[in-house]
């Protein structure tokens, strides 16, 4: 029984692709609740659970996000567009990202994953690096749980951070308190394509045994 469960977990992790082409079909409310419930099973700094998740389904509010997102995307890409000499895999990725930027408001749900901007136990020490590590270490495990739960339930999703360029406008539009930040924007919807194995470099390329650049095992 344990082996079957483990195989399921690894199959989901190995096939959770960034899905940027999404159908407009609505996602049932119970499915959305289940996805967020999986998210909040993740650990958080001091188990304080200082997070919040805004599920944006309203057409006008989604269009508000899309307009800022698309304008930012165009500025980031500039006049050069997608270079012709870029490897095909990267071209496909950027084309899919551009498609998402244009059609962001057509995704049935835009999820704003929010976390506190400060971790109270560290406030007195005024250590920005430690504070950022705890804040991000609190929200991103929850975000990964959400992405895996989406995959398990057949929902396509992708983690985006372009919203950081217009976060203040976003916070004002959605009445997000000053003490919170929007750590991730996750478009969600049933995918137009299929889930499948992700392509990655060999694991040996990223492992360092005991010290940096030591590629030999004992």
Cα separation of 161 and 46, whole Å?
A: 25
Fold adopted by 25-76+107-195? NADH Oxidase (3.40.109)
Residue with tokens 């998740």: 53
CA distances from 151 to 15, 156, 188 (A): 8, 6, 11
Q: How many CA atoms lie within 13 A of 110 on its CB side?
A: 25
DSSP 86-123: S-HHHHHHHHHHHHHHHHGGGSSEEEEEEEESS-GGGG
Cα separation of 188 and 23, whole Å?
A: 9
The predicted pLDDT at position 120 comes to 79
Cα separation of 182 and 92, whole Å?
A: 28
pTM of the predicted model as reported, rounded to 2 decimal places: 0.90
Domain residue spans in the chain?
25-76+107-195
Question: Which residue from 38, 67, 65, 36 is spatially nearest to 52, judged by alpha carbons?
Answer: 36
pLDDT by residue, tens only, the chain of 218 residues: 344 345 589 999 999 999 999 999 999 999 999 999 999 999 998 888 999 999 999 999 999 999 999 999 999 887 666 667 778 878 888 889 999 999 999 999 999 999 998 887 787 778 888 888 888 999 999 999 999 999 999 999 999 999 999 999 999 999 999 999 999 999 999 999 999 888 888 999 999 999 999 988 76
Cα separation of 73 and 94, whole Å?
A: 11
For residues 174 and 104, the answer to whether their CB atoms sit within 8 Å is: no
For residues 186 and 110, the answer to whether their CB atoms sit within 8 Å is: yes
The predicted pLDDT at position 12 comes to 94
């Amino acid at each position: 029984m344990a082996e079957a469960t483990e195989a399921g977990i690894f199959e989901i992790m190995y096939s959770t692709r960034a899905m940027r082409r999404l159908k407009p079909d609505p996602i049932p409310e119970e499915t959305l609740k289940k996805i967020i419930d999986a998210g909040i099973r993740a650990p958080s700094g001091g188990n304080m659970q200082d997070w919040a998740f805004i599920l944006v389904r309203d057409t006008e509010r989604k269009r508000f996000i899309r307009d800022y997102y698309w304008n930012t995307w165009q500025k980031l890409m500039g006049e050069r567009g997608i270079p012709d000499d870029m490897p095909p895999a990267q071209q496909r990725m950027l084309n899919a990202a551009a498609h998402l930027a244009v059609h962001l408001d057509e995704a049935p749900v835009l999820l704003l994953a929010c976390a506190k901007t400060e971790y109270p136990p560290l406030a007195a020490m005024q250590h920005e690096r430690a504070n950022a590590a705890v804040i991000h270490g609190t929200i991103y495990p929850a975000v990964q749980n959400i992405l895996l739960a989406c995959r398990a339930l057949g929902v396509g999703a992708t983690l985006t951070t372009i919203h950081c360029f217009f976060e203040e406008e976003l916070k004002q539009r959605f009445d997000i308190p000053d003490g919170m930040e929007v750590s991730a924007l996750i478009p969600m919807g049933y995918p137009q394509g299929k889930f499948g194995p992700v392509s990655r470099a060999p694991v040996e390329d990223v492992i360092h045994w005991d010290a940096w650049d030591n590629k030999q095992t004992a």
